[in-house]
Structures are given as structure tokens and as C-alpha cells.
């Protein structure tokens, strides 16, 4: 059996030429569209990479600020003031000057704790208690000893003491 000679007929030659040219044109259109889409994707990926780099830089800045802020907060967590309150001054009918003198004496004994960090003050709370309780006062020819009632440690060291008479 023999294949008919279509290659000699002009209509078939135009058809095959059109198919070849169409395939060539469609290939170039495909390459153009693919290239444009790839270029968009590359641009989008580059934008995302830049955004990721900016966010990482921002995270690094936030972390540095956070570390710096924590260091400053550690510095600020020091005892800045001492308040002393005599809880039972009314019970023994002390005048305001005597009460002030007792409170001032305790405050003066604890004044070395100002500007110490809170952790150090907390660790030395037994020493503070002994320092306050070993103090004796002579008021109206009677001997009194202080007893530590409450001790609050924060940026303000709050001490509440009670007076007890010595036997």
C-alpha cells in the first residue's frame, strides 16, 4: 500500500506550513507569557524576602530594646526609701515626738539599705529583724524594746514595729 503524495499538493503544503508557523508562534507566546509570570513571581519573592529581612531586623531591634529595658528595670529595682511606722504608740500613750524619735532611730539604722537591690535586702531580712529588735529605748524612765511586726520589701522598704516593755 502506498501513502498518497500530499506534500506535492499546494493546499496541504499551506496547511503543514500553517501548522508549523502556528506551533512556532504559539511556542513564542507561551515563552512570553511564562516569562512574564515568572518575572512577577520573582518580583513577589524578592518583595517577600525584603519584607522578611525587615521584620527580622525589627525583631532584632525589639529584642535589643527588651534586653536594655530589662537591664534598666533591674537597676531600678532598688530600695529607694524607708518608711517606719510605730504600730502601738497609742497603747503606751507616747507623744508624737517620742514616736518620731523611735521611728527616726530605726530609719537611721536601716539607712544603709537605700540603693541596695531588692534581692540583697530580701536575703538580709533576718539581719534587719535582729537589728531592729536588739534596739532598746528608755522612755519616761522605762526600758522598751522594739519588735518587728511587718516588713515589706519593694522599692520602698516599709517597716512596722511594735513597742514591748522590758521586764
- What number is the average pLDDT over the span 73-102? 88
pTM: 0.58
Confidence of residue 6 (pLDDT cuts 50, 70, 90): low
Q: What integer pLDDT is reported at residue 29 of this predicted model?
A: 95
- The distance between the two most distant Cα atoms of the chain, rounded to a whole number of Å, is 145
Full strand arrangement of the beta sheet holding 136-139 = 81-86, 156-165, 142-152, 136-139
> For residue 7, is pLDDT > 80?
no
Amino acid at each position: 500500500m502506498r501513502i498518497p503524495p500530499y506534500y506535492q499538493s499546494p493546499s496541504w503544503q499551506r496547511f503543514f506550513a500553517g501548522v508549523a508557523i502556528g506551533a512556532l508562534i504559539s511556542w513564542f507566546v507561551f515563552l512570553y507569557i511564562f516569562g512574564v509570570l515568572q518575572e512577577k513571581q520573582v518580583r513577589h519573592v524578592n518583595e517577600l524576602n525584603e519584607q522578611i529581612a525587615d521584620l527580622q531586623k525589627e525583631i532584632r531591634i525589639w529584642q535589643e530594646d527588651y534586653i536594655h529595658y530589662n537591664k534598666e528595670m533591674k537597676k531600678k529595682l532598688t530600695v529607694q526609701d524607708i518608711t517606719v511606722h510605730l504600730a502601738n504608740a497609742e497603747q503606751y500613750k507616747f507623744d508624737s515626738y517620742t514616736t518620731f524619735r523611735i521611728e527616726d532611730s530605726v530609719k537611721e539604722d536601716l539607712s544603709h539599705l537605700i540603693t541596695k537591690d531588692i534581692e540583697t535586702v530580701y536575703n538580709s531580712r533576718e539581719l534587719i529583724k535582729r537589728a531592729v529588735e536588739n534596739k532598746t529605748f528608755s522612755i519616761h524612765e522605762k526600758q522598751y524594746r522594739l519588735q518587728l511586726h511587718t516588713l515589706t520589701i519593694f522599692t520602698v522598704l516599709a517597716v512596722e514595729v511594735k513597742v514591748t516593755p522590758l521586764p
